[in-house]
Chains A and B, each alone.
Chain A
Amino acid sequence: MYRWIQQFGSPKYFYDISLVVSKWIGVICLICFIAGLYGGLVIAPPDYQQGDSYRIIYIHVPASWMSLFVYMILAISGAITLIWRIKIADFVARSSAIIGASFTFLALATGAIWGKPMWGTYWVWDARLTSELILLFLYLGYIALQSSFEDRRVGARAGAILALIGVINIPIIHYSVEWWSTLHQGPTISKLDAPSIHYSMLIPLLLMAIAYKTFYIYTLLINIRSEIIESEYNATWVKKMIGD
């Protein structure tokens, strides 16, 4: 296990693979985005209650999913940084923070815009919305903390500790709609039940979910490459690969 992590964590190995993978990820992302947008905005029928306003679901739900997913990546790579001191793990965490904060912001912003016509308000302090706002603060806190140290390694460790403390918020966000009575409705798609959304509306949603996830991986890979070159500035393999 450790050896495998180390091999995968070796910057050169990672760099080589990421060059090939990121291209294909980018292509998949673009295709899913176009198909998902077309399906969601043009093909999918209006909702029986919410009319056309429900189409915000295609950008709101994937952003919310990604805000949680990216945070888990941030926390896990933080834990790896603390335990094994593997450089790549720190790169993953660093490269995830801004895009994770972006997803969280988008989940909040699109939700507010959706809430105005349907609920009758942009914002309420219910458990779901409040815990998602705290997630945004956690991301911003991580970015500020991790960049405020002169010594990168100290910054990485401090950020990792903050990220791990913040993990407590993730199940709170997820189960908030079940634990407390909230204005926000329960999950449309959960792993145990059949989705409570018609398949003609579900397919574009899944396409958009793939598009968001591949978008994250795409930017993540590019950012990690930048981090690698910055930190391995004098390594011979970097000279060989880029220098000529």
Chain B
Amino acid sequence: MSPRKKRIFVICIVLSGITISVALILTAFEKNLMYFYSPTEVANGSAPEVRDFRIGGIVLKDSVKRNVDNLKVSFVLTDTVSEIEVQYEGILPDLFREGQGIVANGKLQSNNIFIAKQVLAKHDENYMPPEVAEALEKANSHFMEQYK
């Protein structure tokens, strides 16, 4: 290969690489510029009805029901305004727990139950030792009690 041909070859590869990545961005962001919908958005019907979509929210306290025989689990997802029931069968991420933010991928049924194919945990940007978290929690509940 002559140097000139080689150069043209490489430029073509680079250009096609850029094109592919721009196409990737556009398709990825077009469909899920918002990576997930909130329960409120689902409740007022702005989420897609036919195709799969993602829903993000917090797992409501005391709403997780696990099936003893298999990996089926159901829980309620909330954004403090609206709630929606989610059913899922499979292994949950380690961070899945009540009060945790999660993102579920699946379909909304006509009875307003969300059937998830995948459940991902979303954690916040806070990092602290367990003792500090505990102390914070204690201080918080103390504070709440005072102002009840």
Contacts and interface: CB of A to CB of B under 8 A. Distances in A.
Direct A–B contact in the complex, CB atoms closer than 8 angstroms:
yes
Interface of A: 45-50, 53-54, 57, 117-121, 124-127, 130-131, 133-134, 137, 140-141, 144-145, 148-150, 162, 180-183, 185-188, 196-198, 200-201
B18 A148 contact: no
Contacts of A48: 128-130, 132-134
Contacts of B120: 119-121, 124, 183
Interface stretch (B29-37, B43-51, B60-68): B29-37
Contact of B35 (A49, A126, A137, A150): A126
* Residue from A45, A53, A183 with most neighbouring chain B CB atoms (10 Å): A183
Nearest to A166: B18
B35 A127 contact: yes
B33 A127 contact: yes
Interface string B86-108: 00000111111000000100000
A50 B34 CA distance: 26
Interface of B: 3, 6-7, 10-11, 13-14, 17-18, 21, 24-25, 28-29, 32-36, 56, 91-96, 103, 118-134
Contact of B93 (A117, A137, A140, A141): A117
Contacts of B92: 120
Nearest to B122: A183
Contacts of A53: 94
Contact of A120 (B56, B121, B132): B121
B10 A120 contact: no
A127 B93 contact: no
Contacts of A130: 24-25, 28-29
Contacts of B123: 49-50, 118-119, 185
Contacts of A201: 127-129
Which 5 pairs from chain A and chain B are nearest by CB? A120-B93, A48-B133, A148-B10, A45-B129, A198-B128
Contact of A181 (B34, B93, B129): B34
Contact of A49 (B28, B32, B95, B118): B95
A104 to B, nearest CB: 13
B21 A137 contact: yes
Contacts of B33: 127, 180
Contact of B11 (A121, A145, A183): A145
Nearest to B95: A118
A137 B17 contact: yes
B3 A197 contact: no
11 contacts: A45-B129, A45-B131, A50-B123, A120-B93, A126-B32, A137-B17, A140-B17, A182-B35, A183-B103, A186-B125, A200-B129
* Residue from A49, A186, A198 with most neighbouring chain B CB atoms (10 Å): A49
Given A130-B25, A148-B7, A182-B35, A119 B122 contact: yes
Contacts of B134: 48
Nearest to A198: B128
Contact of A144 (B3, B13, B29): B13
B7 A198 contact: no
Contacts of A148: 6-7, 10-11, 14
A45 B122 CA distance: 22
Contacts of A45: 129-131
B125 A188 contact: yes
B41 to A, nearest CB: 10
Contacts of A134: 21, 24-25
Given A45-B129, A183-B103, A196-B125, A150 B7 contact: yes
